[in-house]
Each structure stands twice: as C-alpha cells, then as structure tokens.
Structure 1
C-alpha cells in the first residue's frame, strides 16, 4: 500500500546493495525506475536489491535499473539525493513529488467496493461510438439547418424562384451524406468499441437501409406479414446488432481453423447477423411501432396538456428506436384533412428539452472543458432542429440528462397542447426552422412559447436533477482547486462507484502485441503491470483511456493518466528514450489536464528515436493491478489509432 512505502529506507538500501556510495557513479530516474551508473558491477548484490520492500524488479545491464513504479520513483530519487548529497541528472523533482503525493492520497481515498452497473457501461460505450462523429454531426447539422430554413420559407411562399429550390437541394445532398448513412458510420464505430471488424460493422449498419429492396415486393415481417420499412429498428437496433456481431465474430475466430478463418468468419458473421437483423430485430421494432400507433391515437384523442406532455417526452426514445417513422402517415392524413398537423409542433419540443439540458450541463459543469466544448459545437445544430449531436454525444452517454431533457420536451409539449390549434402545414425539421410552417397568422407565437417552455423545462430539470454524481465530484474538486489557487496540480475525485470496466484504445496506428513481447525485461515480465505493446507507424500518440494527466515526465518520454475508475495508466514512449532528453517529443498535454480517450497526447519524431538507436515500441501499462480483476487484450496485429484493443474489469 502507498502509505507503507518508505522512500528513505529504499534509497539507503539501494546504495548499500549497489556496492555503497563510492560504487555509484551517478543516478537518475525515469518514469518507473532509478537508473544507476555503476563503477564495479561485481559489487552489486542483485538478490538483496530485489528483496527491498517496494522494489518491483531489478535489471543489471550496462546500467543498474531498480524498478519502483510511477509516483514512488520520484520520492526515491529525492531520498537518494538527501542520503548521498549528490544531485541526480534531473533539475528539480518538486512538482513531481507533489503529483506523486496527490496520487497516493487519491488512491487511498478510492479504496472500497464498487457497484457493478451494466447500464453505465452501455452508456459509456454509446459515448465512445458517437463522440468521433461529432465533427460530421456539427458540420452536416448546420448545413441541414440552413437547408431546412430555406425549404420551409419556400413552402410558406416567403421565398420563391427555382434558384432557392436549387440551393436547398444542393445543401440537402451534402447533409444526406451524413444522415442518410448514419447507420453505416454507427456500425463502423460500434465495431471498433466492441472489438469487431469495423468494415463488418459498417455492413451490419447498412442492412437496416434495406438497399435494393423493391418497394412493390417488400420483405415481409415474419410475425404479422406486414412490409418491413427501411431504418426500422433505428440506431439502437444497429448498436445491438453490432454487439451481437462482435460476440459471433470472436467465437468464430476461436473455432475456425486459421487457414480458412479469413474466408469463413466474415461470411458466416454477416450472414447470421444480417438474418437476425432482417427477420428478428427489425420485425420486433415493427411490432412495437404497430402497438404505438394505437397508443398515440389514444393520446391524441385525450388532447390538451396531457397529450402534449406524453408525446413531447416520448418522442426522442422513439427516434432512437427508429419508431418515429410510424408518425409520418398520421401527419400526412391530418394535413390532408385539416390543412395542418398539430402533432409535429408538439414533437418538436423534444429537441427544445435537449437544448435546455445542454445549457444546464454547460453551466453546472463549466470546468469540464471537453464537455463544454462539445456542447458549444452541438448547441447551434440543436437549436436548428438537428438533435443527434446533443443526444448521442452529450445527454444519452451521461444518462440522467437524457431523461431530464425528455421531461423538458414534455413540458414544452404540454404548453403547446394547452394552447391548442397550433399546427404545421408541412412536415419539416423542428426547432427554429419550423416557425415558417406554423399554420395561422399569429399561431407561431404559441409555438415559440412552447419552445421556450421546453428550453426552460429541460434546463431546470437537468440543473437540479440531471447532473451525474461522478461529474459533480469532478466539478467540486476543480472548484476547490481553483479557490485554493491550485492550477497545475492534478485534482481527481474518488472513483465513481458505478465504474466497473475501462476500455483501452490503440494509442497510434501500428502493430499491437501483448506486453510480454517487449524488449524491456521490466515490462515483458509485467513488473509494472499488465497492458499492451504497440509498435507505431504514425507520429501522433493518443490517450488510451479517459482521465486526468497525473504526471508528465520532464524528458517527455512518459506520462501517467488516472481514470475516474481509479486506474493508473502509464504511457511509455519507446525504450530507454529517457536518454534523449525530450528532443523527439512534443507534448500536447500538461499535468492536471483532463483528457478524453482518443485525445492527442504527444507528437513523436520516431525517425529521431530510431536514429538514436532506441526502440520505438510504446508501452501502455496499468500500474495498480490491485484494482483490476481481469485484463484482456481483445485485438492484436495491425490496428488503427483509437481502435478499442483491450478491456480491464475493475474490482
């Protein structure tokens, strides 16, 4: 345990069993070990060094290396300076000592049992699937919003002429490059998260588009004989199907002989999952949608604020399941009979609830720079009626805010329902672009009041009830540090009790191997803990997990990350690269900074590393394996940066 580690005793015994003060020519530390230049190696008592409490391993080569681990190594270095009166090769270790002490305190605080929460794990996976798509969501969403405003103004006769129609058409074509094929992108990213082949995930997502099906001769639902519709089952159906794909593909890799694995496994995986999608998942979604038709009609007949609340609150879950398409015939029938659909303005309130929730999150968690930046990018799109960025990258992964956002949508829907007689003359996007389509001279005012109510309702519900506990803990820690004038030191909350696993991403393009393949004996023997080895083919190194940077070594060849689940992860760039004094490394983060999985950590000139005669193998190691029940490397061989390659189950 950290509190039993005696750096002074370790330092004294290192000198004693290294042949005494006179036999140590010089010493310095790297991220994990003390490196000593020895005068006479015959005087080293290697077995005695290995028995020192707190020493994890010893390598007696050109240098004598005594491994004590991240955090502790800085304390041993300081104790050796005090004991010998000799300075190490490093300038100052004060900042690193403070970081190490803070890490030890945090580790002590995070001891204890942790509750298993599969739901939290699912939400975390959903975030990992959709966060990489945020730039495309935002860019396409803004284009879609502009196209929607132009199209709606054309429909309302405010704009006329073929030129405007052409502009709207071109913008919609660009927008459709994202939103029409969203199931494919989702399938690719979901496959990366769960360790399946990304291209197979993309094909699995494409299946729900029913490409090539003749509308005159559709595939029939096995349960009730009705025709299947494209996108039935929605994005959630795609995610479920790709999860099943990952299970099937991994099993087949185990069962199929290597000689035919590359042929049989992809074919059988796609066939089994494709059939399951078409004949089980999509029909089940259709069964649910048919049941909802009766429920929606009943709600509409009740009318008033009650109908508005129920429909406004339930619309987003329907969109996620691909069930919102059952409402199109209802819209069309209402418009043909009465000239407008009162249902669409109510459902549009769901997006307003998301916008209000996003504002609340941005205010309550203002120190979470990554979340705030993500919200800032997604908010304009959400206001324009494109809700996917806010749903999939912000509120849904956090859990509670999605529910409170739905409540906000219900509040806005209740206002619309209570006012009454607010309808849209055509089907179009929600948010502000829907205003030109509101029927009647002044009825748009009632729609705007409903939208404002949704914004306020989503904000209040989220502000008071929708902030996750782990995020609040981080925010409180950041506020405390700010008040105390602490900016550069890492501040981490206790591990959240619901965190049960951590997925590890590839830190760069390259070849993944078990850590036992390392040329460094310390890592190969798992002295520092389990993990993986990556031989990089790209110069950018990304974060393998989300967390806080607890240490950046002065020579920039290594850094440490502490996750909210309490894992301490070492990123070690090359072997023996401490000797390069930081020259090939351009650090992009600093101590105390919070990073997302997949965020750029450092740029490396690997050619310079190779020219210096150093190995480029990069080590990712969990240095507190006492917090882990199981570590599994789920992918080896060639990988792309940010692919999910390993998983650690926490105690």
Structure 2
C-alpha cells in the first residue's frame, strides 16, 4: 500500500493543508477539523485508495481507513506540521444555535436517568389516586411526591457538576454555587418578598429550582474566574484563598447578575405576549404553543406564574396552561415517534419512557433534554404542532379552570364553562397535537444513519458445524445488538467488515479467542487481535471514546503479546464513560471478512457471557 500517495490525495481533496486546522487519528480513522467542510467532495474522497468511507460528526471530518490508519497518519504528518488538537476550531464550525444545543445536551445527558425516574414517579402519583389505591393525604403519597420532585428541584446542582466537567471548572466549587442558588434561607427570602441586598448590591428575588440556563451561564463564567485567580494567587496561598474567592465572587455574581437575567427576560417576554394577547389572542397562543419548550427550558415561564397559579372557574387561564397542554403533548408524541423510528435500542427505550412521562404527567424535561433538543428535528415538529394547536385554542377561547401541569391525565382541568365545549376543544387539541407531531417527526426524521444491509441469518451449515467454522467468543458480558444498529455509520454500514455489537454489562474486556495482540491504541479504547486461525478482529469499546484520551480505561496487554481465550485485555468503567455522555455500545468487527466465504453473527442471542460464541467465519 502506497500510504504517501493516498494521503496526498486525501489532503488535496479536503482542501489542502490550508483548510486543515488539526488532524488526529483513532483506531480506524483520520479525524480532520477543517476550516470549511464545504470545500470537500465526499465522493472523490471515497474513491481514494485505502479510504473505506467518510463521516461528519462532532465538528470533525472523519476519513475511515481501517486498522492501518496509523501508517496513513504517519505519512500525513510528513506533509505538514498539523495540530493534533481535535477541538481546535470546533466552535467556529457550529452556528450559535448548534453550539447552544450541544452545551445543553452535553450537560443534560447524564441527568436523563434521574429525570426519567422522577417523571415516572409523578406518573404513578397521578394514576394511583385515580385507581383508588393511594390517598393524596397519605404520608406515602407525600414522601413519594418529593421523591419525584427531587431530580427537577435540584437540577441546578446536578447541572453544576456536569457543566463543570464540560467547561473545566472545579466540580465541587460549581456545585457549591448551585447550592447557593437553592439554599433554603435564600428561598425563604424569596418567599417573604422583602428587598434583599449584599454589600449594597440588590439581589433579584427569583426561584432557581428546576432552572437550566442560569447555572450553565454561571459555571461558564467560573471557568474564567478560576483562571484569573490561578494566575494571580501565589501557589503557597492557593489551596485556601482560591476556593474562598471563587465561591464569594461567583455566588455574588450568580444572585446579583447572572441568575436574574432569566427573570428579566421572562418579564419582558410576559409583557410582549400579554400585549399581543390583548391585540390578537390567537397569535399570542400560537407563539406560546410553539415556543413553550424553549420558555420552560430557560425558566421564563415563571414570569407568568401570577396568571396560571391562580387559575379557577372565576379566573380561568386562557394563555399559559392551554399553551402548555399543546406543547407537553407534542413533546410526548415526538418521543413516541422517535421510539418507533429509531434503530438504536437505547434511544428507543429512553424515548418511550420520556414520551410516557410527558403525555401522562406533563413532565417534559426527559423528552426535551434527552430526545427532542438533542436531535433537533423532533423539537421542530413539536414546536410546529404547538403553534398550530395554539392558534386553534386562541380562536376557540380554550380555558383552564384549575392549576395542574397539563397532560392527558389532567385534562379534567379544562372541564367548566357553559356546556361541554371547552373540554371537547381540549381533547381536540390533545389529539391534534399528537397526530401532527407524530407525523411530522416521522417525516423529518432524527438524522440516524440508515441501515446499510439487511440482517443475515446464521446458515444451517454453520449451525451444524459442517464447514468447521472459526468462532469468535463474546469479549464482554452484555446484550447482543446487530452491527447495523450501532449509531456510527463506519460500523453500521460495515465499512470495516462484518460483526456484531454488545451493550456491556461488565467492565472487563477479555480475549475472544487465542491469538496475538496486533495493536492497541494509546487511548486504550480499541484493540486489534489476530486469532490463531487467522481472524483479524477489532474490538472498539464505545463510540467516540477516543475523545476520553484513555480516561476510565486500563489495559493489561501490549501489541505483540500472546493471549489466551478469556484472558483479561482491558477494563473500562462503563458507568463513568456513560455519565460522561458517551455511547458504551461496543462493536466487534472481523476486519478481514473478505477472506471468508461468510461471516455471520449468531442472531438469536439476546444476551451473552464471555463463554458463548457470537461470530462464525467460514
């Protein structure tokens, strides 16, 4: 293979070295950060000898080269002094909305299990009283209520931790600021309503529980506050002086400047919407129905609290609660559509649970942060449906006669007025929101890579052993998943060969056969093996885990080592990897599949242990 000629062509097709901001490589691909991806013709790149495919992901232009990527990278570095910082220029390649969504999604993803759990508890607390199985005045109900509320109420504290990891801030200092914003003494001051100040600086009396934007802005600022103090504080004083000053300055900024921004924005929005409502009610409801997911995300809906918290037969709410009905139902419907359309089993499961939570309890955080905002197109579908239903509600004058978080279960809050017209319109809105959102989400899609091939069955000849097939045993215990369902086209399209994937349930990766270690990447996230029978195998632990740079991985072998079946190769702390926002699904690929008549996976297995064969090669 002429590596030099191939990389010369690659470099030419990606816009020459003038268009390259940085380049690095993982186990199988060259990862470029380009100044302008529009200069690249994907079709021409794919035709270059040695190139198996291309992929655009995470601000990178990835050229898939297979196991020989290190030699291509070595040849490439001879053509220019390229930076290896894969993050260089990534922000410039994204528009402001994409960058905003990436920050929100990246920080919120680790919170999704807690939000789904809390949301499902809220669903249970709605259903049990309706079934007569639990009284709302019972202590069990009251205790379960704060079980369900806790993930949402303390969201700023949890976000402080995840945002600190993303922005490079000391985690416990960030968590402390989140605690300041939620401290019961401050909450009591807010409830009292008397003017509050610190060192003469006025503090806006705002509630930050369940809010997102204030703490994210604050932790982002703390990155610069910490950096400034690191430069000016002498080393001998840094251990106690730095945390003192960071907490003091950040806490004051959080309560005096950053936190109130959402409050002021909400008040401005409230003034604008109420003015529009006075001129054209249908338009105000259309805007609220469409923008409600973003309004809730920023916490600005609390600016309308005086309106919806006192909703009653005498003072019905014709704005916020009706708009939330359309928006909440739309979020749930979008998630159900994603669950139906998605190929990734994890996404299917998360979407289904988030959809149920939104539809039955009106708890939309798992849906918004775990699904719709992350994939964008389902969010657009939900916002369009919310806007359409909002206009309908404006024309029909839909009213809410009680305060409850709108959902399918809480539809009785719309019973009232003369006749049954109001509740009928509420049901129409709910049904229309479901149908419109569901259909639009299916039409828009979720930007998953399409299935590259149909799943093949294990042939009878392999099952009977008549061809003496070579076997690959599971390197890790877990759930077996078809390779086509891996959320990475390099694997799902089988560019590197046939194989299967496992969703690990154990932290140990063991040798799937006896043979030698062909290569192990410095970041330890991937390992290449050659069996005694000639199978060349790639075990890629997680998706995009190269970005962890070896964190949470530990290897026990080196390239060239002899290994026996079942021998420990490496360990991976999958809980921490998953908490860091990475998909832990582990593709296992026979990279020399072309050397065999057929390479197939034992399809009927749902779960496996290290002692069971998962791939046969004939």
Partner of 1:576: 558
**Residue 398 (1) aligns with residue 382 (2):** no
1:232 and 1:375 map into 2 onto residues whose CA distance is 25
**Residue 451 (1) aligns with residue 430 (2):** yes
2:223 and 2:288 map into 1 onto residues whose CA distance is 35
Partner of 1:147: 125
| CA displacement at 1:572 relative to structure 2 | 6.8
| CA displacement at 1:375 relative to structure 2 | 0.8
**Residue 212 (1) aligns with residue 188 (2):** no
- Matched residue SS, 1:433: coil
Could you state the TM-score of these two structures normalised by the residue count of structure 2?
0.61
| CA displacement at 1:140 relative to structure 2 | 1.0
Partner of 1:196: 169
Partner of 1:320: 297
Partner of 1:58: none
| CA displacement at 1:566 relative to structure 2 | 11
1:405 and 1:189 map into 2 onto residues whose CA distance is 27
- Matched residue SS, 1:553: strand
1:596 and 1:328 map into 2 onto residues whose CA distance is 35
2:489 and 2:537 map into 1 onto residues whose CA distance is 27
| CA displacement at 1:233 relative to structure 2 | 9.9
2:124 and 2:356 map into 1 onto residues whose CA distance is 11
Preserved CA contact (<8 Å) 1:312 1:409 = yes
Preserved CA contact (<8 Å) 2:292 2:323 = no
Preserved CA contact (<8 Å) 2:154 2:210 = no
**Residue 106 (1) aligns with residue 68 (2):** no
Deviations 1:146-168 (A, max 9, x none): 334567x6xxxx97996655454
CA RMSD for the aligned pairs? 4.6
2:453 and 2:4 map into 1 onto residues whose CA distance is 27
| CA displacement at 1:180 relative to structure 2 | 1.5
| CA displacement at 1:319 relative to structure 2 | 1.2
Equivalence map 1:121-270=2 (5 Å): 121-148=99-126, 164=137, 166-209=139-182, 211-213=184-186, 214=189, 215-216=191-192, 217-219=194-196, 227-231=204-208, 234-270=211-247
Preserved CA contact (<8 Å) 1:71 1:103 = no
| CA displacement at 1:388 relative to structure 2 | 0.4
Which structure 1 residue ranges, 5 or more long, are not aligned?
Answer: 7-67, 73-100, 496-507, 510-521, 534-542, 544-548, 603-651
| CA displacement at 1:188 relative to structure 2 | 1.2
- Structure 1 residues 171 and 177 mapped into 2: Cα distance closer, same or farther (>3 Å)? same
**Residue 294 (1) aligns with residue 271 (2):** yes
Partner of 1:361: 338
- Structure 1 residues 172 and 69 mapped into 2: Cα distance closer, same or farther (>3 Å)? closer
Preserved CA contact (<8 Å) 2:201 2:256 = no
Work out which of the residue numbers 481, 484, 497 in structure 1 matches 2:453: 481
| CA displacement at 1:318 relative to structure 2 | 1.5
- Matched residue SS, 1:425: coil
Partner of 1:309: 286
Preserved CA contact (<8 Å) 1:221 1:227 = no
* Higher relative contact order (CA closer than 8 Å, sequence separation 6+): 1
- Matched residue SS, 1:229: coil
Partner of 1:639: none
Could you state the TM-score of these two structures normalised by the residue count of structure 1?
0.58
- Structure 1 residues 405 and 562 mapped into 2: Cα distance closer, same or farther (>3 Å)? same
2:548 and 2:299 map into 1 onto residues whose CA distance is 40
1:491 and 1:315 map into 2 onto residues whose CA distance is 30
Which structure 2 residue ranges, 5 or more long, are not aligned?
Answer: 7-24, 30-47, 64-88, 459-481, 492-505, 508-518, 587-618
1:457 and 1:352 map into 2 onto residues whose CA distance is 11
| CA displacement at 1:334 relative to structure 2 | 5.3
Work out which of the residue numbers 408, 426, 429 in structure 2 matches 1:432: 408
Partner of 1:630: none
Deviations 1:258-300 (A, max 9, x none): 3332212222222222222111112322222222222222233
Preserved CA contact (<8 Å) 2:311 2:400 = no
- Structure 1 residues 572 and 565 mapped into 2: Cα distance closer, same or farther (>3 Å)? closer
**Residue 418 (1) aligns with residue 395 (2):** yes
Equivalence map 1:13-28=2 (5 Å): none
- Structure 1 residues 596 and 240 mapped into 2: Cα distance closer, same or farther (>3 Å)? closer
Question: What is the aligned residue count?
Answer: 450
- Structure 1 residues 188 and 170 mapped into 2: Cα distance closer, same or farther (>3 Å)? same
Work out which of the residue numbers 350, 357, 367 in structure 2 matches 1:381: 357
- Structure 1 residues 111 and 371 mapped into 2: Cα distance closer, same or farther (>3 Å)? closer
Preserved CA contact (<8 Å) 1:379 1:390 = yes
| CA displacement at 1:447 relative to structure 2 | 1.1
- Matched residue SS, 1:348: helix
Work out which of the residue numbers 326, 338, 345 in structure 2 matches 1:349: 326
Q: Considering only CA atoms, is the larger Rg found in Structure 1 or Structure 2?
A: 1
Preserved CA contact (<8 Å) 1:191 1:198 = yes
